[in-house]
Structure 1
Amino acid sequence: MPRSIRLDAVLVQAVIAGALSFAHLHDIAQAAGQDGWKAWAYPVSVDLLLVAAWRRLRNLRTAHEPTRAAWTWFAVALTASLGANIATAGLLDLHQVPDWLRILVAGWPAMAFLGGTLLVHTPTTEPDEVPDPEAEQVPSVDAPLPVPADSAPEPESEQLPAAEPVLALPAPAAVDVPPALLDHARKVADAHRTATGAPIDADTLRARLGLPGPMADQLAAQFA
Structure 2
Amino acid sequence: MPRSLRPDAVLIQAVIAGALSFAHLHDLAEAAGQSGWKGWVYPISVDLLMVAAWRRLRTARRDRSAWVWFVIALVASLGANIATAGLLDLHDVPAWLRILVAGWPALAFLGGTLLVHSPTDTPTPTAAGLRPQPVDEPAVTEVDMHSEDPVPAPAPVSTPELPAAPSGMPAPLAVAVPAALVDHARKIADAHRATTGAPMPADALSARLGLPGPTAAAIAAELQLV
Deviation per CA, 1:36-93, whole angstroms, max 9, x where unpaired? 11100000000000011011001113xxxx2211110000000000000000011110
Q: Return the letter of the residue paired with 1:74.
A: F
* Displacement of 1:140: 8.9
Q: Secondary structure at the match of 2:60?
A: helix
Query: Could you say which residue in structure 1 is the equivalent of 2:118?
Result: 122
CA distance in 1, matches of 2:98, 2:136: 64
TM normalised by structure 2 equals 0.56
Matched with 1:199 is none
Aligned position for 1:176: none
| Higher Cα radius of gyration | 1
* In 2, Cα distance between equivalents of 1:140 and 1:111: 56
1:106 is matched with: 102
Per the TM alignment, residue 2 of structure 1 is displaced from its structure 2 partner at its CA by 4.8
Q: Which residue of 2 aligns with 1:27?
A: 27
- Structure 2 CA distance for aligned equivalents of residues 105 and 140 of structure 1: 65
Q: Which amino acid aligns with 1:35?
A: S
1:81 corresponds to which residue? 77
Alpha-carbon distance in 2 for matches of 1:116, 1:98: 28
Between the aligned partners of 2:136 and 2:112, the Cα distance in structure 1 is 43
Does structure 1 retain, via aligned residues, the 8 Å contact 2:53–2:67?
yes
8 Å CA contact 2:52, 2:115 repeated in 1: yes
> Separation in 2 of the partners of 1:37 and 1:141?
70
Report the Cα distance in structure 1 between the residues aligned to 2:137 and 2:53, rounded to whole angstroms: 45
Task: Tell me, in whole angstroms, the C-alpha distance in 2 between the residues paired with 1:140 and 1:34.
Answer: 70
Detail structure 1 runs of 4+ shifted over 4 Å in the superposition: none
User: Which residue in 2 is equivalent to 1:52?
Assistant: 52
Residue 2 (structure 2) pairs with residue 6 (structure 1): no
Deviation of 1:6 after TM superposition, in Å, equals: 1.1
The CA deviation string for residues 97-133 of structure 1, in whole angstroms up to 9 with x for no partner, is: 0001000000000010000011111111333xx2649
Aligned length: 147
**In the alignment, which residue of structure 2 is the partner of 1:36?**
36
| Alignment-derived partner of residue 167 in structure 2 | none
User: Is contact 2:59–2:121 with CA below 8 Å preserved after alignment?
Assistant: no
Question: RMSD of the TM alignment (CA)?
Answer: 3.4
d(CA) in 1 for partners of 2:22 and 2:33?
17
Distance 1:11 1:103 in 2: 35
Q: Kindly indicate whether the alpha-carbon contact (under 8 Å) linking 2:53 and 2:115 is maintained by their aligned counterparts in 1.
A: yes
Q: Distance in 1 between matches of 2:27 and 2:136?
A: 66
- Mind listing any 5+ residue stretches in structure 1 that lack a counterpart? 143-159, 164-224
- Which amino acid counterpart does residue 89 of structure 2 have in structure 1? D
Q: Give CA deviations for 1:12-37 in whole Å, capped at 9, x if unaligned.
A: 01000000000000000000000111
1:95 maps onto 2:91 in alignment: yes
CA distance in 2, matches of 1:109, 1:141: 60
Partners in 2 of 1:46 and 1:84 — Cα distance?
11
Question: 1:3: how far off?
Answer: 3.9
**Percent identity among equivalent residues?**
73
